[in-house]
A and B are shown apart, each in its own frame.
Chain A
Amino acid sequence: MIFLELFLSFLKIGAFTFGGGYAMLPLIMETVVSKGWMSEEALIDFVAVAESTPGPFAINIATYVGSEMGGFFGAVCATLGVVLPSFVIILIVAKCYEKFRKSKLVSGAMTGLKPVVVGLIGAAILSIGVKALGLSSFAFSLSFGLSLLFSLIILVPCLVMAFKKLHPIFIVLISAGLGIGFGYFEKLLATVIS
Protein backbone atom coordinates (compact mmCIF):
# COMPACT_ATOMS: atom_id res chain seq x y z
CA MET A 1 0.00 0.00 0.00
CA ILE A 2 1.52 3.24 -1.21
CA PHE A 3 0.26 5.45 1.64
CA LEU A 4 1.79 3.27 4.34
CA GLU A 5 5.00 2.95 2.31
CA LEU A 6 5.23 6.73 1.90
CA PHE A 7 4.58 7.29 5.59
CA LEU A 8 7.14 4.72 6.75
CA SER A 9 9.83 5.78 4.27
CA PHE A 10 9.62 9.41 5.31
CA LEU A 11 9.35 8.43 8.96
CA LYS A 12 12.73 6.74 8.53
CA ILE A 13 14.15 9.85 6.87
CA GLY A 14 12.80 12.05 9.67
CA ALA A 15 14.14 9.76 12.38
CA PHE A 16 17.68 9.16 11.11
CA THR A 17 18.89 12.41 9.59
CA PHE A 18 20.84 14.79 11.78
CA GLY A 19 21.65 18.39 10.94
CA GLY A 20 18.73 19.23 8.67
CA GLY A 21 18.81 20.63 5.14
CA TYR A 22 21.51 19.18 2.91
CA ALA A 23 22.51 16.73 5.64
CA MET A 24 19.19 14.99 4.98
CA LEU A 25 19.82 14.72 1.25
CA PRO A 26 21.84 11.45 1.17
CA LEU A 27 19.15 9.46 2.98
CA ILE A 28 16.36 11.10 0.98
CA MET A 29 18.25 10.31 -2.22
CA GLU A 30 18.82 6.70 -1.26
CA THR A 31 15.18 6.20 -0.29
CA VAL A 32 13.40 7.84 -3.23
CA VAL A 33 15.82 6.43 -5.82
CA SER A 34 15.77 2.87 -4.47
CA LYS A 35 11.96 2.93 -4.29
CA GLY A 36 11.86 4.13 -7.88
CA TRP A 37 9.90 7.23 -6.90
CA MET A 38 12.34 9.67 -8.46
CA SER A 39 15.56 9.59 -10.47
CA GLU A 40 18.70 11.18 -9.02
CA GLU A 41 18.51 13.96 -11.61
CA ALA A 42 14.85 14.68 -10.85
CA LEU A 43 15.68 14.89 -7.15
CA ILE A 44 18.46 17.41 -7.81
CA ASP A 45 16.09 19.43 -9.99
CA PHE A 46 13.70 19.42 -7.09
CA VAL A 47 16.41 20.64 -4.71
CA ALA A 48 16.55 23.75 -6.91
CA VAL A 49 12.76 24.07 -6.79
CA ALA A 50 12.84 23.70 -3.00
CA GLU A 51 15.52 26.39 -2.71
CA SER A 52 13.26 28.72 -4.68
CA THR A 53 10.06 27.99 -2.76
CA PRO A 54 9.38 28.74 0.90
CA GLY A 55 9.77 26.25 3.69
CA PRO A 56 12.14 23.54 4.88
CA PHE A 57 13.59 21.26 2.21
CA ALA A 58 12.53 18.05 3.97
CA ILE A 59 8.90 19.16 4.01
CA ASN A 60 9.01 20.27 0.38
CA ILE A 61 10.43 16.98 -0.85
CA ALA A 62 8.08 14.88 1.30
CA THR A 63 5.05 16.78 0.02
CA TYR A 64 6.24 16.57 -3.58
CA VAL A 65 7.04 12.85 -3.61
CA GLY A 66 3.88 12.09 -1.66
CA SER A 67 1.70 14.05 -4.05
CA GLU A 68 3.34 12.53 -7.14
CA MET A 69 2.91 8.98 -5.81
CA GLY A 70 -0.40 9.20 -3.99
CA GLY A 71 -2.14 12.53 -4.59
CA PHE A 72 -3.29 14.68 -1.68
CA PHE A 73 -3.49 11.85 0.83
CA GLY A 74 -0.05 10.63 -0.25
CA ALA A 75 1.35 14.11 0.38
CA VAL A 76 -0.24 14.16 3.83
CA CYS A 77 1.21 10.71 4.72
CA ALA A 78 4.74 11.55 3.56
CA THR A 79 4.80 14.97 5.25
CA LEU A 80 3.36 13.57 8.48
CA GLY A 81 6.02 10.86 8.38
CA VAL A 82 8.94 13.25 8.07
CA VAL A 83 7.61 15.59 10.78
CA LEU A 84 6.49 13.06 13.39
CA PRO A 85 9.90 11.85 14.69
CA SER A 86 11.21 15.39 15.29
CA PHE A 87 7.97 16.41 16.92
CA VAL A 88 7.88 13.49 19.35
CA ILE A 89 11.61 13.59 20.11
CA ILE A 90 11.62 17.33 20.78
CA LEU A 91 8.61 16.98 23.11
CA ILE A 92 10.52 14.35 25.08
CA VAL A 93 13.74 16.39 25.07
CA ALA A 94 11.87 19.49 26.25
CA LYS A 95 10.67 17.50 29.28
CA CYS A 96 14.13 16.41 30.36
CA TYR A 97 16.05 19.25 28.84
CA GLU A 98 18.88 19.50 31.40
CA LYS A 99 19.54 15.78 31.29
CA PHE A 100 19.66 15.83 27.49
CA ARG A 101 22.05 18.75 27.39
CA LYS A 102 24.48 17.17 29.82
CA SER A 103 24.07 13.64 28.51
CA LYS A 104 27.39 12.05 27.59
CA LEU A 105 25.56 9.59 25.35
CA VAL A 106 24.17 12.43 23.22
CA SER A 107 27.43 14.35 22.96
CA GLY A 108 29.28 11.07 22.32
CA ALA A 109 26.89 10.08 19.56
CA MET A 110 27.31 13.51 17.98
CA THR A 111 31.09 13.04 17.73
CA GLY A 112 30.29 10.13 15.41
CA LEU A 113 27.26 11.61 13.65
CA LYS A 114 28.82 14.92 12.60
CA PRO A 115 31.66 13.34 10.61
CA VAL A 116 29.47 10.62 9.07
CA VAL A 117 27.20 13.27 7.56
CA VAL A 118 30.29 14.74 5.87
CA GLY A 119 31.11 11.33 4.37
CA LEU A 120 27.54 10.71 3.22
CA ILE A 121 27.24 14.11 1.55
CA GLY A 122 30.64 13.56 -0.05
CA ALA A 123 29.29 10.34 -1.58
CA ALA A 124 26.14 12.11 -2.76
CA ILE A 125 28.25 14.86 -4.36
CA LEU A 126 30.35 12.27 -6.19
CA SER A 127 27.30 10.54 -7.58
CA ILE A 128 25.50 13.77 -8.52
CA GLY A 129 28.67 15.45 -9.78
CA VAL A 130 29.27 12.70 -12.32
CA LYS A 131 25.78 13.24 -13.69
CA ALA A 132 25.59 17.03 -13.44
CA LEU A 133 28.92 17.52 -15.17
CA GLY A 134 28.01 14.94 -17.82
CA LEU A 135 30.97 12.70 -16.94
CA SER A 136 28.86 9.54 -17.15
CA SER A 137 28.86 9.74 -20.95
CA PHE A 138 32.64 10.09 -21.10
CA ALA A 139 34.10 10.02 -24.61
CA PHE A 140 36.89 11.86 -26.39
CA SER A 141 34.58 13.88 -28.57
CA LEU A 142 33.93 17.54 -29.26
CA SER A 143 30.45 17.54 -27.77
CA PHE A 144 31.65 15.86 -24.57
CA GLY A 145 34.53 18.31 -24.19
CA LEU A 146 32.25 21.23 -24.88
CA SER A 147 29.56 20.25 -22.41
CA LEU A 148 32.19 19.57 -19.73
CA LEU A 149 33.68 23.00 -20.40
CA PHE A 150 30.25 24.63 -20.14
CA SER A 151 29.54 22.77 -16.89
CA LEU A 152 32.80 24.01 -15.41
CA ILE A 153 32.04 27.56 -16.55
CA ILE A 154 28.77 27.29 -14.60
CA LEU A 155 30.33 25.52 -11.61
CA VAL A 156 33.12 27.97 -10.84
CA PRO A 157 31.07 31.18 -10.45
CA CYS A 158 28.36 29.23 -8.59
CA LEU A 159 30.96 27.95 -6.13
CA VAL A 160 32.30 31.48 -5.63
CA MET A 161 28.79 32.79 -5.03
CA ALA A 162 27.93 29.95 -2.67
CA PHE A 163 31.01 30.61 -0.55
CA LYS A 164 30.30 34.36 -0.60
CA LYS A 165 27.04 33.35 1.12
CA LEU A 166 24.86 34.68 -1.65
CA HIS A 167 21.30 33.44 -1.27
CA PRO A 168 20.81 30.05 -3.02
CA ILE A 169 18.01 31.52 -5.14
CA PHE A 170 20.51 33.66 -7.04
CA ILE A 171 22.67 30.63 -7.71
CA VAL A 172 19.64 28.76 -9.02
CA LEU A 173 18.69 31.70 -11.27
CA ILE A 174 22.18 32.30 -12.64
CA SER A 175 22.89 28.61 -13.29
CA ALA A 176 19.48 28.34 -14.99
CA GLY A 177 20.27 31.30 -17.25
CA LEU A 178 23.70 29.93 -18.15
CA GLY A 179 22.16 26.51 -18.75
CA ILE A 180 19.64 27.94 -21.21
CA GLY A 181 22.34 29.97 -22.97
CA PHE A 182 24.73 27.04 -23.35
CA GLY A 183 21.90 24.67 -24.28
CA TYR A 184 20.86 26.77 -27.26
CA PHE A 185 24.47 27.48 -28.18
CA GLU A 186 25.21 23.75 -28.35
CA LYS A 187 22.08 23.18 -30.40
CA LEU A 188 23.06 25.93 -32.81
CA LEU A 189 26.57 24.51 -33.05
CA ALA A 190 25.21 21.05 -33.81
CA THR A 191 23.09 22.35 -36.70
CA VAL A 192 26.00 24.42 -38.06
CA ILE A 193 28.37 21.42 -38.00
CA SER A 194 25.87 19.05 -39.58
Chain B
Amino acid sequence: MNKLKLVFTLFLTFAKIGAFTFGGGYAMIPLIEKEVIERKKWISEDILLEVIAIAESTPGPIAINSATFIGNRVAGFWGSFAATFGVVLPSFLIIFCLSFILRQFMEFEPVVFAFEGIRVGVLALMIKALVGMYKKAPKGLLGYIIMGLGLILSAFTEIDAVFIIIGAGIAGIISSLIADRKLKKQATGAEDGKKEDKK
Protein backbone atom coordinates (compact mmCIF):
# COMPACT_ATOMS: atom_id res chain seq x y z
CA MET B 1 0.00 0.00 0.00
CA ASN B 2 2.77 2.38 1.01
CA LYS B 3 4.71 1.53 -2.13
CA LEU B 4 1.65 2.19 -4.27
CA LYS B 5 1.30 5.60 -2.68
CA LEU B 6 4.97 6.34 -3.25
CA VAL B 7 4.73 5.35 -6.91
CA PHE B 8 1.68 7.56 -7.32
CA THR B 9 3.44 10.50 -5.64
CA LEU B 10 6.37 9.98 -8.02
CA PHE B 11 3.99 10.16 -10.95
CA LEU B 12 2.38 13.39 -9.68
CA THR B 13 5.71 15.02 -8.86
CA PHE B 14 7.19 14.33 -12.27
CA ALA B 15 3.97 15.30 -14.02
CA LYS B 16 4.28 18.65 -12.24
CA ILE B 17 7.92 18.93 -13.33
CA GLY B 18 6.94 18.05 -16.91
CA ALA B 19 4.11 20.56 -16.93
CA PHE B 20 6.06 23.52 -15.60
CA THR B 21 9.39 23.43 -17.43
CA PHE B 22 9.54 25.18 -20.72
CA GLY B 23 12.22 24.00 -23.11
CA GLY B 24 12.95 20.76 -21.25
CA GLY B 25 16.34 19.23 -20.50
CA TYR B 26 18.51 21.48 -18.38
CA ALA B 27 15.59 23.85 -17.77
CA MET B 28 14.14 21.01 -15.75
CA ILE B 29 16.98 20.71 -13.27
CA PRO B 30 16.08 23.64 -10.96
CA LEU B 31 12.55 22.25 -10.65
CA ILE B 32 13.85 18.73 -9.95
CA GLU B 33 16.07 20.26 -7.25
CA LYS B 34 13.12 21.98 -5.63
CA GLU B 35 10.63 19.11 -5.83
CA VAL B 36 12.75 16.00 -5.45
CA ILE B 37 15.53 17.22 -3.16
CA GLU B 38 14.08 20.05 -1.05
CA ARG B 39 10.45 19.06 -0.79
CA LYS B 40 10.34 15.27 -0.99
CA LYS B 41 13.94 14.65 0.16
CA TRP B 42 14.08 11.57 -2.07
CA ILE B 43 17.68 12.08 -3.18
CA SER B 44 20.62 14.29 -2.22
CA GLU B 45 22.28 17.05 -4.23
CA ASP B 46 25.28 14.78 -4.99
CA ILE B 47 23.04 12.18 -6.53
CA LEU B 48 21.39 14.78 -8.74
CA LEU B 49 24.82 15.79 -10.06
CA GLU B 50 25.53 12.13 -10.80
CA VAL B 51 22.14 11.79 -12.48
CA ILE B 52 23.02 14.70 -14.78
CA ALA B 53 26.41 13.18 -15.59
CA ILE B 54 24.77 9.84 -16.41
CA ALA B 55 22.01 11.51 -18.42
CA GLU B 56 24.66 13.21 -20.52
CA SER B 57 26.53 9.99 -21.26
CA THR B 58 23.47 7.91 -22.13
CA PRO B 59 21.33 8.43 -25.22
CA GLY B 60 17.96 10.11 -25.20
CA PRO B 61 16.32 13.20 -23.73
CA ILE B 62 17.87 14.32 -20.45
CA ALA B 63 14.45 14.75 -18.83
CA ILE B 64 13.59 11.09 -19.50
CA ASN B 65 16.97 9.85 -18.31
CA SER B 66 16.69 11.83 -15.07
CA ALA B 67 13.08 10.80 -14.39
CA THR B 68 13.82 7.11 -15.01
CA PHE B 69 16.94 7.17 -12.83
CA ILE B 70 15.39 9.05 -9.91
CA GLY B 71 12.19 6.98 -10.07
CA ASN B 72 14.26 3.81 -9.98
CA ARG B 73 16.26 5.07 -6.98
CA VAL B 74 13.11 5.92 -5.05
CA ALA B 75 10.83 2.98 -5.83
CA GLY B 76 12.42 0.48 -8.23
CA PHE B 77 10.99 -0.43 -11.63
CA TRP B 78 7.47 0.87 -11.05
CA GLY B 79 8.93 4.05 -9.63
CA SER B 80 10.90 4.64 -12.81
CA PHE B 81 7.85 3.82 -14.89
CA ALA B 82 5.65 6.26 -12.94
CA ALA B 83 8.22 9.07 -13.03
CA THR B 84 8.88 8.68 -16.76
CA PHE B 85 5.18 8.44 -17.60
CA GLY B 86 4.57 11.50 -15.44
CA VAL B 87 7.24 13.64 -17.08
CA VAL B 88 6.03 12.71 -20.58
CA LEU B 89 2.28 13.02 -20.09
CA PRO B 90 1.85 16.84 -19.88
CA SER B 91 3.86 17.57 -23.05
CA PHE B 92 2.12 14.75 -24.86
CA LEU B 93 -1.36 16.04 -24.03
CA ILE B 94 -0.52 19.69 -24.67
CA ILE B 95 1.19 19.10 -28.00
CA PHE B 96 -1.45 16.62 -29.12
CA CYS B 97 -4.19 19.22 -28.56
CA LEU B 98 -2.05 22.00 -29.98
CA SER B 99 -1.29 20.11 -33.20
CA PHE B 100 -4.91 20.57 -34.31
CA ILE B 101 -4.83 24.33 -33.72
CA LEU B 102 -1.31 24.90 -34.99
CA ARG B 103 -1.95 23.91 -38.58
CA GLN B 104 -4.84 26.36 -38.97
CA PHE B 105 -2.90 29.18 -37.35
CA MET B 106 0.06 28.79 -39.68
CA GLU B 107 -1.95 30.22 -42.59
CA PHE B 108 -2.59 33.66 -41.05
CA GLU B 109 -0.43 36.43 -42.48
CA PRO B 110 0.81 37.83 -39.14
CA VAL B 111 1.71 34.30 -38.04
CA VAL B 112 3.65 33.74 -41.26
CA PHE B 113 5.60 36.97 -40.63
CA ALA B 114 6.09 36.10 -36.96
CA PHE B 115 7.63 32.75 -37.86
CA GLU B 116 9.99 34.37 -40.35
CA GLY B 117 11.35 36.33 -37.40
CA ILE B 118 11.19 33.35 -35.06
CA ARG B 119 13.38 31.24 -37.38
CA VAL B 120 16.12 33.80 -36.88
CA GLY B 121 15.50 33.71 -33.12
CA VAL B 122 15.79 29.92 -33.10
CA LEU B 123 19.01 30.23 -35.10
CA ALA B 124 20.38 32.39 -32.26
CA LEU B 125 19.31 29.74 -29.72
CA MET B 126 21.05 27.04 -31.75
CA ILE B 127 24.25 29.07 -31.96
CA LYS B 128 24.13 29.47 -28.18
CA ALA B 129 23.65 25.69 -27.81
CA LEU B 130 26.58 25.10 -30.19
CA VAL B 131 28.88 27.31 -28.12
CA GLY B 132 27.78 25.59 -24.90
CA MET B 133 28.52 22.16 -26.33
CA TYR B 134 31.82 23.31 -27.79
CA LYS B 135 32.90 24.44 -24.32
CA LYS B 136 32.04 21.03 -22.86
CA ALA B 137 33.76 19.03 -25.61
CA PRO B 138 37.35 17.79 -25.19
CA LYS B 139 39.67 20.10 -27.10
CA GLY B 140 42.63 17.92 -28.25
CA LEU B 141 43.58 17.18 -31.83
CA LEU B 142 41.17 14.26 -32.00
CA GLY B 143 38.32 16.46 -30.74
CA TYR B 144 38.87 19.05 -33.46
CA ILE B 145 39.19 16.38 -36.17
CA ILE B 146 35.91 14.79 -35.07
CA MET B 147 34.16 18.19 -34.94
CA GLY B 148 35.37 19.06 -38.45
CA LEU B 149 34.64 15.64 -39.91
CA GLY B 150 31.20 15.57 -38.29
CA LEU B 151 30.39 18.98 -39.74
CA ILE B 152 31.62 18.18 -43.25
CA LEU B 153 30.08 14.70 -43.45
CA SER B 154 26.76 15.92 -42.14
CA ALA B 155 26.58 19.10 -44.21
CA PHE B 156 27.91 17.87 -47.55
CA THR B 157 27.24 14.13 -47.78
CA GLU B 158 24.18 11.91 -47.58
CA ILE B 159 25.67 9.73 -44.83
CA ASP B 160 23.16 8.88 -42.12
CA ALA B 161 23.92 10.89 -38.95
CA VAL B 162 23.63 7.68 -36.93
CA PHE B 163 26.74 6.29 -38.64
CA ILE B 164 28.62 9.54 -38.01
CA ILE B 165 27.68 9.32 -34.32
CA ILE B 166 28.67 5.63 -34.08
CA GLY B 167 31.96 6.34 -35.87
CA ALA B 168 32.79 9.16 -33.45
CA GLY B 169 32.03 6.94 -30.46
CA ILE B 170 34.30 4.19 -31.79
CA ALA B 171 37.07 6.71 -32.54
CA GLY B 172 36.78 7.98 -28.96
CA ILE B 173 37.02 4.44 -27.54
CA ILE B 174 40.05 3.54 -29.70
CA SER B 175 41.90 6.74 -28.87
CA SER B 176 41.33 6.32 -25.13
CA LEU B 177 42.51 2.69 -25.33
CA ILE B 178 45.68 3.81 -27.12
CA ALA B 179 46.24 6.59 -24.58
CA ASP B 180 45.75 4.03 -21.80
CA ARG B 181 48.28 1.64 -23.26
CA LYS B 182 50.83 4.43 -23.62
CA LEU B 183 50.33 5.41 -19.99
CA LYS B 184 50.81 1.81 -18.86
CA LYS B 185 53.97 1.46 -20.96
CA GLN B 186 55.36 4.65 -19.50
CA ALA B 187 54.53 3.42 -16.00
CA THR B 188 56.18 0.03 -16.51
CA GLY B 189 59.07 1.72 -18.31
CA ALA B 190 59.60 3.99 -15.32
CA GLU B 191 59.51 1.00 -12.97
CA ASP B 192 62.06 -0.89 -15.07
CA GLY B 193 64.23 2.20 -14.96
CA LYS B 194 64.07 2.26 -11.17
CA LYS B 195 64.96 -1.42 -10.91
CA GLU B 196 67.99 -0.87 -13.08
CA ASP B 197 69.00 2.09 -10.94
CA LYS B 198 68.92 -0.10 -7.82
CA LYS B 199 71.13 -2.67 -9.46
Contact = CB atoms under 8 A, between A and B. Distances in A.
Interface of A: 12, 14-27, 30, 41, 44-45, 47-60, 63-64, 67-68, 72, 75, 79, 82-83, 85-87, 89-91, 93-94, 97, 100-101, 104-129, 131-133, 151, 154-155, 158-159, 161-163, 167-169, 171-172, 174-180, 182-184
Contact of B119 (A113, A116, A132): A132
B92 A75 contact: yes
Contact of A131 (B20, B119, B171): B119
Contacts of B88: 55, 59, 79, 83
Nearest to A42: B106
Nearest to B139: A115
A67 B127 CA distance: 29
A54 B31 CA distance: 13
A38 B128 CA distance: 24
B172 A112 contact: yes
Given A20-B63, A176-B114, A115 B95 contact: no
Interface in B143-189: 143-144, 146-155, 160-162, 164-177, 180
B13 interface: no
A56 B24 contact: yes
B119 A91 contact: no
B110 interface: yes
Interface string B39-72: 0000000000010011111111111110011001
Contacts, number: 399
B116 A115 contact: no
A53 B58 contact: no
Interface of B: 18-26, 28, 50, 53-65, 68-69, 72-73, 77, 80, 84, 87-88, 90-92, 94-96, 98-99, 102-103, 106, 109-110, 112-131, 133-134, 136-138, 142-144, 146-155, 160-162, 164-177, 180
Contact of B113 (A14, A17, A133, A180): A180
13 contacts: A16-B59, A54-B21, A54-B90, A55-B94, A55-B95, A56-B62, A63-B99, A106-B57, A108-B175, A115-B142, A120-B150, A120-B165, A175-B118
A182 B99 contact: no
Nearest to A43: B122
Given A57-B61, A114-B138, A183-B117, 6 more contacts: A89-B58, A93-B58, A104-B177, A111-B175, A115-B144, A171-B124
Give the 7 A-B CB pairs with smallest separation, nearest first: A179-B117, A112-B172, A119-B150, A55-B91, A183-B113, A175-B121, A86-B60
A182 B193 CA distance: 73
A91 B68 contact: yes
A78 to B, nearest CB: 10
A90 B54 contact: yes
Contacts of B72: 90-91, 94
Nearest to B120: A154
A82 B59 CA distance: 10
A41 B102 CA distance: 15
A63 B96 contact: yes
